[in-house]
Chains A and B, each alone.
Chain A
Amino acid sequence: EPEVTQTPSHQVTQMGQEVILRCVPISNHLYFYWYRQILGQKVEFLVSFYNNEISEKSEIFDDQFSVERPDGSNFTLKIRSTKLEDSAMYFCASSVVSDTQYFGPGTRLTVL
């Protein structure tokens, strides 16, 4: 069964460093999302992407964040200058249209 994959599973970085989180959505899906979950808190929406552009973004998704679909399979989230409060589990999701979203296993980002 097709699934969303994410790499790396765990990323440790120093405050102020740039990180890139990678996702491979399910191949025939058209909508792509990033969510995050700070330990013990709700899953929060960051950004959605459709037709090679951002379709929605939350207040969390400020100028320090960017997304890209560099080729036909990968979908990336970049954080330019990480802060301690960026430590969280980051989930990528994809969907065919506006229906069931399928989530990847997540990347745990630890900012020291």
Chain B
Amino acid sequence: KQEVTQIPAALSVPEGENLVLNCSFTDSAIYNLQWFRQDPGKGLTSLLLIQSSQREQTSGRLNASLDKSSGRSTLYIAASQPGDSATYLCAAPISSGYSTLTFGKGTMLLVSP
């Protein structure tokens, strides 16, 4: 059974810092991994999807990496801004061949001006 763990649970940084959020998963037989952003009381916004054949995926100031062999993914946020404050969720398919996602508990990020 796939389990997804995210560390740290919370992170507070001053504006402008680069930061890394970590995600680990137990079943490495996945074909993709997805990162989401969730604002308080709101839905999930898809940030990046990394296919198993890729090692990195970039969107603006966000860069996600995937290392299947070690069961890890990281989300790098460059030059953080107060508007980046949110909870970041990592999600992996429950098993090989399935699209259903298993989520981590998330990392709550606070970027202070």
Could you list which residues of chain A lie within 8 angstroms of chain B, going by C-beta atoms? 31, 33, 35, 41-45, 48, 56, 58, 91, 93, 95, 98-106, 108
Contact = CB atoms under 8 A, between A and B. Distances in A.
A98 B102 CA distance: 14
B105 interface: yes
Given A101-B34, A101-B101, A106 B42 contact: yes
Interface residues of B, number: 24
B100 A33 contact: yes
B31 interface: yes
Contacts of B105: 41-42
Interface string B34-64: 1010000111111001000000000000000
B31 A101 contact: no
The 3 residue pairs across chains A and B that have the minimum distance between CB atoms: A98-B99, A103-B44, A105-B43
Contacts of A35: 101
Given A44-B103, A98-B98, A101-B46, 19 more contacts: A41-B105, A42-B104, A43-B89, A43-B101, A45-B101, A48-B99, A58-B100, A91-B43, A95-B99, A98-B93, A98-B99, A100-B34, A100-B46, A101-B34, A103-B43, A103-B45, A104-B43, A105-B43, A108-B41
A103 B89 CA distance: 13
Contacts of A102: 46
Nearest to A50: B99
Given A100-B34, A103-B36, A45 B44 contact: no
B110 interface: no
Contacts of B41: 108
A45 B99 contact: no
